[in-house]
Structures are given as C-alpha cells and as structure tokens.
Amino acid sequence: MSSKSRFFADCHVFDGHFQGTTTYLQGLYTELIKDKSKTFFLAAHDTQHLEEIFGLHENVVYLKYKSKNKFIRLLFEIPGLIKKNKIQYAHFQYIVPPVKCCKYIVTIHDILFLDYPQYFPLAYKIKNNFLFKISAYYSDIVLTVSEFSKQRIIKHYKTPNISVTPNGVEDFYFEAYDKTTVAQKVKALFGVDNYWLYVSRWEPRKNHLTLLKTFVEKGYYKDNQLVFVGAKAIKNKTYDEYYNALPAEIQKRIVTLHNINREQLLDLTRAAALSAYPSVAEGFGIPPLESVAAQVPTICSNATAMGDFGFLGNCLFDPFDTTGIHDAAIHALTGKDIARQREIVKEKYSWKIAAHAFMNAVEQ
C-alpha cells in the first residue's frame, strides 16, 4: 500500500450514548493510528470529544459534522468530506452512504433481527435488512466481529468475502487495583455493594428477565444487590410486569443505572461480586471478557456468538435456564478458574489482532 493512504472513519456514534460500536471504533482506531505512514480522518459532530478519546497526533485529522441529522450526514456531508480530503478508504458501521466517492469499508456487527425476529420491531427489521444488505453489496470490504456473525451474513446476504475484526479488551481492564478501595468508592457514589452486575442496553433479547428471576427465585437478593447498567432501547413489558409484582423489599435490591461513563463503568465492574451476561443473541458480547480481565467472577450465556467463549467452561449457561444460571454462579464464585480465563482473554482478544485483520483486509 502507498505510504500516503488516507482513511476516513464515521465516528458519529461518539456523539451519543456509549454502546458497542463506540467500544469497537475506539479500540480499533486507537491501534490503527499508531501507523504513522497512514493518515486517519475521524468525523463526528463533537470533535472535542473525539480529541479527548484519541488524542492529538500528526497523522489524525478531526472533521466536524455540521448536522446531527443522519440523512444529511450520509447524503451530503460525508461524500463532501471524502472528496475534499481525497479519502481512499471510508469506514462505516452497518450503513454506507448511497453516493460512492472512494472505496467503502463496512462493519456489520450482526444481523440478529433475521435469526431472532421476535425480539425486534417490524419496522426495524424491514428498514435495517434493506440498508445492511445494500451496504454489504455496495462496499469493497465487509467486516464483522465474530465467526458467528460472519457465517450468518454469508447465509443471509450471500456475501462471500468477509473478514473478522474481533473486539478486544482495553489494557486498563487488566491493571492491578484494590477491590476494597474500589468497592468503597462505588458504594459512596451509587449506594450499592456486594452486587451482581449486568452491563447491556435494555432490549428483550438481552434477557434481563431471566437473570432477575434467578436472582429472586434462588434467594440471592437476601445477601446481594442486582445492578443493571445500560440505556433503554426497546421496552420489555414482560420484565416490567414481573418486577412490578415483586415485594417492595426485593425491588429495593435491584438498581438500574443509566448514563454511566467509562471510568464509572470500570469501577462498577471491578467492585462487582459477580458479572453476569445472560443475553439470548449477540454478534459478539464484550462485557463478560472485560469482567474476566478485571478478575471478577463471570458467568455468560452460551448462545450465538458467546458460544465462542468455550474457555469459560462451567461458567457458561443456557440463557433460559434459571437453574443453569444458578449453577454457573456457584461455580464462578469459587474463583478457581479466573486466572486461567484471564490469560486466555489477554492472549486472544486484543485490539492489535483486530487492527492487523483490518489492514490485511485492506491490503488484499
């Protein structure tokens, strides 16, 4: 490749709430921009926020979107920025602009709405199926984050050449810390201690309900709290009905937190007695890897992409089985597997691996 290669990345997700795609872009481009032979143009409305995340580098240019409207961004602003800055490769998440001015790279993290339609609104399925499929067809390079998602995209969209750029775990999750000190900090800030933690936005497929049932019906509420961290996305009526029927003394043991920043999330993860990830369907699933890296006992669903986390062994469970969740929790809380699990995460899930896969896809 030419030493003057110019890459554009649509980073508008950093203008909103923290989510999986922000983790992906932050980890991937923090690693990519270390290659000083290439220039990276990162675009968002809040460029100051981007600078705080990625820092100032001689080979990084921050481009400011004038509009927060996604249609204006895709139809007009991005094609204009690509032409003006003589971009060679433009990278998008899920959806690419209809006007093509350079080679397009798209990361489609998952197409779960096709395999699990019961968890998604009809309009969402129709719109995104059309846009994702067109974007895959229109792009020169198609990426995804897991072998599971790769196989599903190939099956549904007949896209033969897909590269996997797996999510990685940030180095700070592996740093040493004093759990007692962090727990005291978290209790002072959020009023919780000795808690189970589930980090995920709220959707029915995220399966908050089964975790809550396990927590209540197996009696964990007597000695623990249950903390949910994540933004509301799709309303879960069944969860609301179950929660509202609980006695007030049990409801007090369940805490829901929104708008948590990365530093607070790290502390919440480190201070947890147990990290749980009961999702029914995921394109990857990074929170359980982060909690393992932080040496927190972790249990995880064995469904879809999480089935790749076989190294978790007896800490995996059927997401619909409360007894399975209970058994996995008992095993995880012994702590005997955490050191081995942590070493596997450190070796297998790094952003260096993802960046290498990204550049391989470009060069090929």
Q: Per residue of the chain (364 residues), give pLDDT as tens.
A: 445 799 999 999 999 877 788 999 999 999 999 999 999 999 999 999 999 999 999 999 999 999 989 999 999 999 999 999 999 999 999 999 999 999 999 999 999 999 999 999 999 999 999 999 999 999 999 999 999 999 999 999 998 899 999 999 999 999 999 999 999 999 999 999 999 999 999 999 999 999 999 999 999 999 999 999 998 888 899 999 999 999 999 999 999 999 898 899 999 999 999 999 999 999 999 999 999 999 999 999 999 999 999 999 999 999 999 999 999 999 999 999 999 999 999 999 999 999 999 999 999 8
Question: Which ranges in the chain belong to alpha helices (H)?
Answer: 20-32, 47-54, 70-72, 78-84, 112-115, 122-138, 147-157, 179-190, 208-217, 237-244, 248-251, 262-271, 287-293, 322-332, 338-348, 351-363
Ranges in the chain annotated CATH 3.40.50.2000: 6-168+350-363, 172-348
pLDDT in tens, 181-229: 999 999 999 999 999 999 999 999 999 999 999 999 999 999 999 999 9
CB 200 within 8 A of CB 230: yes
CATH architecture, domain 172-348: 3-Layer(aba) Sandwich (3.40)
pLDDT in tens, 118-175: 999 999 999 999 999 999 999 999 999 999 999 999 999 998 899 999 999 999 999 9
Nearest to 299 by CA among 342, 264, 333, 271: 333
Please give the CATH superfamily to which domain 6-168+350-363 belongs: Glycogen Phosphorylase B; (3.40.50.2000)
Q: Which residues pair with 91 in a beta bridge?
A: 9, 105
- Give me the pLDDT at residue 3, please: 55
- Give me the pLDDT at residue 1, please: 43
Nearest to 85 by CA among 11, 7, 138, 32: 7
Q: How far apart are CA 168 and CA 73, in angstroms?
A: 29
Q: How far apart are CA 146 and CA 149, in angstroms?
A: 5
Q: How far apart are CA 89 and CA 8, in angstroms?
A: 6
The model's pTM is: 0.90
